[in-house]
Amino acid sequence: MTKAHRKNNFIWLTAALVGMLLAGGLTSEFPEKLAFTILEYSSVVLLLVALRSLQGHRHWLTILIILIGFMLLSSITRDVTGFQYFSFIYMFLLLVFFIAAAWLVGKVVLLTGKVDFNIITGSVALYLILGLIWAIFYTLLLQHSPAAFQGLQPEHWINALSTMTYFSFVTLTTLGYGDISPTTPMAEVLVILEAVTGMFYFAIVVASLISSARRN
Protein backbone atom coordinates (compact mmCIF):
# COMPACT_ATOMS: atom_id res chain seq x y z
CA MET A 1 0.00 0.00 0.00
CA THR A 2 1.38 3.38 -0.99
CA LYS A 3 2.27 5.56 1.96
CA ALA A 4 0.43 8.86 2.11
CA HIS A 5 2.66 11.91 1.71
CA ARG A 6 2.47 15.35 0.18
CA LYS A 7 2.61 13.96 -3.34
CA ASN A 8 -0.43 11.70 -3.05
CA ASN A 9 -2.24 12.48 0.20
CA PHE A 10 -5.32 14.01 -1.40
CA ILE A 11 -5.88 10.85 -3.43
CA TRP A 12 -6.87 9.08 -0.20
CA LEU A 13 -9.31 11.83 0.70
CA THR A 14 -10.92 11.85 -2.74
CA ALA A 15 -11.24 8.07 -2.76
CA ALA A 16 -12.89 8.16 0.68
CA LEU A 17 -15.37 10.83 -0.42
CA VAL A 18 -16.32 8.92 -3.56
CA GLY A 19 -16.75 5.84 -1.37
CA MET A 20 -19.13 7.77 0.88
CA LEU A 21 -21.18 8.87 -2.12
CA LEU A 22 -21.42 5.28 -3.32
CA ALA A 23 -22.31 4.02 0.17
CA GLY A 24 -25.04 6.64 0.47
CA GLY A 25 -26.55 5.59 -2.84
CA LEU A 26 -26.41 1.88 -2.03
CA THR A 27 -28.02 2.22 1.41
CA SER A 28 -31.24 3.47 -0.16
CA GLU A 29 -31.69 -0.04 -1.56
CA PHE A 30 -31.61 -1.68 1.87
CA PRO A 31 -34.16 -1.82 4.71
CA GLU A 32 -34.05 1.22 6.97
CA LYS A 33 -32.36 -0.42 9.98
CA LEU A 34 -29.70 -2.12 7.87
CA ALA A 35 -29.16 1.12 5.94
CA PHE A 36 -28.41 2.89 9.23
CA THR A 37 -25.73 0.37 10.09
CA ILE A 38 -24.10 0.30 6.67
CA LEU A 39 -23.98 4.08 6.22
CA GLU A 40 -22.78 5.01 9.70
CA TYR A 41 -20.10 2.36 10.13
CA SER A 42 -18.85 2.51 6.55
CA SER A 43 -18.59 6.30 6.91
CA VAL A 44 -16.42 5.91 10.00
CA VAL A 45 -14.08 3.58 8.13
CA LEU A 46 -13.90 5.90 5.13
CA LEU A 47 -13.24 8.92 7.35
CA LEU A 48 -10.32 7.06 8.90
CA VAL A 49 -9.01 6.53 5.36
CA ALA A 50 -9.52 10.25 4.70
CA LEU A 51 -7.33 11.09 7.70
CA ARG A 52 -4.32 9.82 5.74
CA SER A 53 -4.66 13.00 3.69
CA LEU A 54 -4.27 15.19 6.78
CA GLN A 55 -1.20 13.62 8.38
CA GLY A 56 0.74 16.84 8.01
CA HIS A 57 -1.62 18.60 10.44
CA ARG A 58 -0.91 16.75 13.69
CA HIS A 59 -2.98 19.02 15.91
CA TRP A 60 -6.01 18.81 13.64
CA LEU A 61 -5.41 15.10 13.11
CA THR A 62 -5.81 14.47 16.84
CA ILE A 63 -8.99 16.53 16.97
CA LEU A 64 -10.50 14.73 14.00
CA ILE A 65 -9.62 11.31 15.39
CA ILE A 66 -11.44 12.24 18.60
CA LEU A 67 -14.36 13.48 16.51
CA ILE A 68 -14.56 10.18 14.63
CA GLY A 69 -14.40 8.38 17.98
CA PHE A 70 -17.47 10.28 19.16
CA MET A 71 -19.21 9.46 15.86
CA LEU A 72 -18.54 5.77 16.40
CA LEU A 73 -19.71 6.03 20.01
CA SER A 74 -22.95 7.72 18.96
CA SER A 75 -23.62 4.94 16.42
CA ILE A 76 -22.98 2.21 18.98
CA THR A 77 -25.13 3.99 21.56
CA ARG A 78 -27.99 4.30 19.07
CA ASP A 79 -27.76 0.59 18.25
CA VAL A 80 -27.77 -0.37 21.94
CA THR A 81 -30.43 2.04 23.21
CA GLY A 82 -32.52 2.47 20.07
CA PHE A 83 -32.59 6.22 20.74
CA GLN A 84 -32.76 7.66 17.23
CA TYR A 85 -31.61 11.15 18.18
CA PHE A 86 -28.08 9.79 18.33
CA SER A 87 -28.30 9.58 14.53
CA PHE A 88 -28.66 13.36 14.40
CA ILE A 89 -25.68 13.71 16.74
CA TYR A 90 -23.74 11.52 14.31
CA MET A 91 -24.81 13.69 11.39
CA PHE A 92 -23.84 16.88 13.23
CA LEU A 93 -20.38 15.45 14.02
CA LEU A 94 -20.01 14.45 10.37
CA LEU A 95 -20.82 18.03 9.39
CA VAL A 96 -18.13 19.35 11.75
CA PHE A 97 -15.62 16.90 10.25
CA PHE A 98 -16.38 18.04 6.70
CA ILE A 99 -16.13 21.72 7.61
CA ALA A 100 -12.76 21.16 9.28
CA ALA A 101 -11.53 19.11 6.32
CA ALA A 102 -12.70 21.79 3.87
CA TRP A 103 -10.73 24.41 5.82
CA LEU A 104 -7.54 22.33 5.87
CA VAL A 105 -7.76 21.24 2.23
CA GLY A 106 -8.76 24.71 1.06
CA LYS A 107 -5.67 26.30 2.62
CA VAL A 108 -3.43 23.91 0.68
CA VAL A 109 -5.31 23.98 -2.62
CA LEU A 110 -5.84 27.74 -2.74
CA LEU A 111 -2.55 28.88 -1.21
CA THR A 112 -0.15 26.34 -2.68
CA GLY A 113 2.94 27.48 -4.49
CA LYS A 114 3.09 24.51 -6.84
CA VAL A 115 0.49 22.85 -9.04
CA ASP A 116 0.69 19.09 -9.46
CA PHE A 117 -1.64 16.13 -9.73
CA ASN A 118 -2.07 15.98 -5.96
CA ILE A 119 -3.21 19.61 -5.75
CA ILE A 120 -5.66 19.11 -8.61
CA THR A 121 -6.99 16.02 -6.82
CA GLY A 122 -7.30 18.12 -3.68
CA SER A 123 -9.43 20.66 -5.54
CA VAL A 124 -11.75 17.83 -6.59
CA ALA A 125 -11.90 16.61 -2.99
CA LEU A 126 -12.74 20.09 -1.75
CA TYR A 127 -15.55 20.36 -4.29
CA LEU A 128 -17.00 17.03 -3.11
CA ILE A 129 -16.75 18.13 0.51
CA LEU A 130 -18.68 21.33 -0.24
CA GLY A 131 -21.47 19.32 -1.83
CA LEU A 132 -21.64 16.97 1.15
CA ILE A 133 -21.68 19.85 3.63
CA TRP A 134 -24.75 21.36 1.97
CA ALA A 135 -26.37 17.92 1.72
CA ILE A 136 -26.22 17.63 5.51
CA PHE A 137 -27.57 21.18 5.89
CA TYR A 138 -30.51 20.30 3.65
CA THR A 139 -31.16 17.03 5.49
CA LEU A 140 -31.17 18.72 8.89
CA LEU A 141 -33.48 21.42 7.57
CA LEU A 142 -35.79 18.82 6.06
CA GLN A 143 -36.10 16.99 9.36
CA HIS A 144 -36.97 20.25 11.10
CA SER A 145 -39.28 21.49 8.34
CA PRO A 146 -40.62 18.66 6.12
CA ALA A 147 -42.23 21.19 3.76
CA ALA A 148 -38.94 22.98 3.06
CA PHE A 149 -38.60 21.32 -0.35
CA GLN A 150 -41.10 20.53 -3.05
CA GLY A 151 -40.92 17.30 -5.05
CA LEU A 152 -40.01 15.00 -2.15
CA GLN A 153 -41.92 12.12 -0.64
CA PRO A 154 -41.96 11.83 3.18
CA GLU A 155 -39.02 9.61 4.10
CA HIS A 156 -36.63 8.86 6.93
CA TRP A 157 -33.50 10.96 7.16
CA ILE A 158 -31.28 8.09 6.01
CA ASN A 159 -33.03 8.14 2.63
CA ALA A 160 -33.44 11.90 2.73
CA LEU A 161 -29.67 12.30 3.05
CA SER A 162 -29.16 10.38 -0.19
CA THR A 163 -31.78 12.48 -1.96
CA MET A 164 -30.40 15.73 -0.56
CA THR A 165 -26.90 14.73 -1.66
CA TYR A 166 -28.21 14.44 -5.20
CA PHE A 167 -29.99 17.79 -4.89
CA SER A 168 -26.91 19.41 -3.37
CA PHE A 169 -24.62 18.52 -6.26
CA VAL A 170 -27.27 19.49 -8.81
CA THR A 171 -27.39 22.88 -7.10
CA LEU A 172 -23.62 23.19 -6.64
CA THR A 173 -23.06 22.56 -10.35
CA THR A 174 -26.01 24.89 -11.19
CA LEU A 175 -27.66 22.19 -13.32
CA GLY A 176 -31.09 22.98 -11.88
CA TYR A 177 -33.12 19.99 -13.08
CA GLY A 178 -36.18 21.34 -11.27
CA ASP A 179 -37.41 18.01 -9.88
CA ILE A 180 -36.73 19.30 -6.34
CA SER A 181 -37.09 22.95 -5.37
CA PRO A 182 -37.01 24.99 -2.13
CA THR A 183 -40.30 26.29 -0.75
CA THR A 184 -39.33 28.06 2.49
CA PRO A 185 -37.15 31.17 2.97
CA MET A 186 -34.42 29.24 4.82
CA ALA A 187 -34.27 26.58 2.13
CA GLU A 188 -34.08 29.25 -0.56
CA VAL A 189 -31.22 31.00 1.25
CA LEU A 190 -29.23 27.75 1.52
CA VAL A 191 -29.81 27.00 -2.16
CA ILE A 192 -28.71 30.50 -3.19
CA LEU A 193 -25.55 30.30 -1.09
CA GLU A 194 -24.63 26.91 -2.54
CA ALA A 195 -25.27 28.00 -6.11
CA VAL A 196 -23.11 31.10 -5.64
CA THR A 197 -20.40 28.99 -4.00
CA GLY A 198 -20.44 26.57 -6.92
CA MET A 199 -20.11 29.36 -9.47
CA PHE A 200 -17.28 31.15 -7.71
CA TYR A 201 -15.46 27.96 -6.74
CA PHE A 202 -14.33 27.26 -10.28
CA ALA A 203 -13.33 30.87 -10.83
CA ILE A 204 -11.33 31.05 -7.60
CA VAL A 205 -9.68 27.63 -7.88
CA VAL A 206 -8.82 27.97 -11.57
CA ALA A 207 -7.39 31.46 -10.99
CA SER A 208 -5.36 30.16 -8.03
CA LEU A 209 -3.99 27.19 -9.97
CA ILE A 210 -3.11 29.31 -13.00
CA SER A 211 -1.43 31.92 -10.79
CA SER A 212 0.59 29.22 -9.04
CA ALA A 213 1.58 27.65 -12.35
CA ARG A 214 2.82 30.99 -13.69
CA ARG A 215 4.96 31.53 -10.57
CA ASN A 216 6.65 28.26 -11.36
Q: Roughly how many angstroms between the first and final C-alpha of the chain, as a whole number? A: 31
Cβ atoms of residues 12 and 4 within 8 Å: yes
CB neighbour list of residue 79: distance below 8 Å, 6 or more residues apart: 37
User: Using CB atoms within 10 A of its CB, is residue 41 exposed (0-12), middle (13-18) or buried (19+)?
Assistant: middle
Per-chain mean pLDDT for the chain: 82
Separation between Cα atoms, residue 165 and residue 205, nearest integer Å:
22
Residue 5 is predicted with a pLDDT of 44
> Domain residue spans in the chain?
9-215
Whole-structure pTM value: 0.86
Pick the CATH number of 9-215 from 2.40.10.10, 3.10.180.10, 1.10.287.70, 3.100.10.10: 1.10.287.70
C-alpha distances (whole Å) from 172 to each of 39, 67, 207 are 23, 27, 19
Task: Give the tens place of pLDDT for each residue, 99-125.
Answer: 998 988 888 887 666 777 888 888 899
Mean pLDDT, residues 86-92 taken together: 82
Task: Give the tens place of pLDDT for each residue, 167-191.
Answer: 999 999 988 888 999 999 999 999 9
